[in-house]
Amino acid sequence: MPLADVSNTFLEESAAKVRSKPVPWEAYQRAGLITVEDLGLIKRVDRQPRARIESVLMSDGQTYANLYLMLLKKLVRVDPLQYLLVMASDALTDHPERLALFQGSSKSDPDLPYGPLSRTLETQDEFARLKALQIVTALLSSEPSSLQSQHIRSFLSTITVSLQGSQNARDVGVQCLGSLLPRAEVRKAVWKIDELIQGLIQAANSNVSPQLTYQAVYCLWLLSFDTSIAQAINKKYDIIPAFIKIAKIAVKEKVIRVIIATFRNMVTKAPAENLPAMLVAESLPLVKNLSTRKYSDEEVIDDLDFLRDELARNFESLSTYDEYASELESGRLSWSPVHESETFWKENSSKLNDNDYEKLKILLRIIRTAEDSVVLAVAIHDIGQYIKYSGKGRRAVNDLGGKTRIMELMSHADPDVQFQSLVTVQRLVSHSWMS
C-alpha cells in the first residue's frame, strides 16, 4: 500500500511543522543517547532540500531505514520521535519500493521494524501515534506472507482506540483499517473485537462527514466478504436497518454504492440469514427508489437490479410467520398487523415452542433488555397472545422466569406497557388458558 493512500490534513500540517522545527541532536549525542555516527548520518539529511535527501536515500536507503528505526527504539522524547516518524514517512512517500528496506531492517535487529513502531502506537502524542499507525499500515499491507498475530493485535488495538478518539483519529483509523481488511486473517481478527465493530458502526452513523461514513461502511463491506461474518453481522449488530437509514439520507453516490454492495454480499453469502431481515426492515422500497436515480458507476445499477430481483422473489414466498420470526430476530418490534391478528396467533402460537422455545426466549429477552416503550408493549402483548392460544404457554413463561419481569413492567412509566403487562399477568394467573 502506498503511504499516500492514508491521507489526513492534520497529519500533513503537523508533519510540515515538524520538518521546520530544529531538534537538538548535538545535545542528544553529548548525553550519550545517540552515537557520533548517528549524528553524522542525521546531519546529512536534517532540514535539507527534498532533492538532497532523495540523493542520499538513493545510495544509502537501507542505512537510513535502519537508523530511523533504531533511533525510534532508543529515544522517548516526543520531539525526536515526531521527527524520525516524519523522516521515515517522507522516505516512503511516492516510493513504495522502499518498504522492503524497512522490512529488511530485521536482519540487523529482529525487533525491527515493528518493535519500536508498535511502542510508538501507545504514545500519548496523537500526531506520533497516528503517524506511526500510517507507517505500520503500509508495512503490514506489503508483507508477502500471513501477518504475525502480535502485529495484528497491536495494530487493531490502536484502531479500536482511534475509533473512540478525535475526528482525526477516527479518520486515520478507518483508512488504515480499510487498507488491511482485504487480508482474510485481519477480517477474522477484527470480528473477534466487539468494541472495534461497534466503533465502525458508530462512525458510519456519526454524520460527521460523508467521507467518514463512506470509509466506515467500506470497512464493513470488506468484512462481509467473509461468509461466517456475513451470516452473523446483522443478527449481532443490526446493521441492515442502520444502513437503510444511512442510504435514505446519503448525498454522496459512493456511500450508496458501498451500502448496496454490502447488501449484495450479505444476500449472496448468507441469504437465509439476511433476506428476511432486509424485507422486515423494508429494504425493497428503498432499493426500488434508489433504482430510479442516475449513477456514474454501472456496478451500482447492477447491484440494485440484483437486490431488487432477490428481494421481490423472496417477498412473494415469505410466509406471515417467517416475517414475524425475522422481526423478532431483529428485536425491532412494532404494531404491524400480524401482532394483533387473532388468526395468526391461533395458527402459529405453538411454533414459539420449537427448538427448545427459541422464539419465546427471544421475546422474554426483549422484555428484559429493551428500552423502547413500543418494543416493550408489543413484546408483552405477544407473550400474552402466546399464553392465550398455546396450551404450554402459562407454564413455559413461568418456567423461563418471565412472570416476575412482566409484573415489574406493570409499573412502567408508559401507559401502553402498563396495560399490556396487566392483560398478560391476568392470563398468567387465570385458570382458563383460553380466557
Predicted pLDDT of residue 8:
93
The CATH number corresponding to 333-429 among 1.10.630.10, 1.10.150.120, 1.10.10.350, 1.25.40.150 equals 1.25.40.150
pLDDT in tens, 23-55: 999 999 999 999 999 999 999 999 999 999 999
Predicted pLDDT of residue 435:
39
Predicted pLDDT of residue 190:
97
Backbone angles phi, psi at 315, to 5 degrees: -60, -40
Predicted pLDDT of residue 432:
44
How much is the pTM?
0.80
Predicted pLDDT of residue 434:
42
Task: Give the span between the Cα atoms of 44 and 39, in whole angstroms.
Answer: 9
Predicted pLDDT of residue 208:
84
Predicted pLDDT of residue 52:
95
pLDDT by residue for the chain (435 residues), tens digit each?
Answer: 667 688 899 999 999 999 999 999 999 999 999 999 999 999 999 999 999 999 999 999 999 999 999 999 999 999 999 999 999 999 999 999 999 999 999 999 999 999 999 999 999 999 999 999 999 999 999 998 899 999 999 999 999 999 999 999 999 999 999 999 999 999 999 999 999 999 999 999 988 899 999 999 999 999 999 999 999 999 899 899 999 999 999 989 999 999 999 999 999 999 988 988 888 788 889 999 999 999 998 899 999 999 999 988 877 666 778 878 878 887 888 887 788 888 889 989 999 999 999 999 999 999 999 989 999 999 999 999 999 998 888 899 999 999 999 999 999 999 999 999 999 999 988 744 443
Predicted pLDDT of residue 13:
96
> For residue 168, which amino acid is it?
N
Domain range summary for the chain, segments of one domain joined by +: 1-144, 333-429
pLDDT in tens, 200-239: 999 999 888 999 999 999 999 999 999 999 999 998 998 9
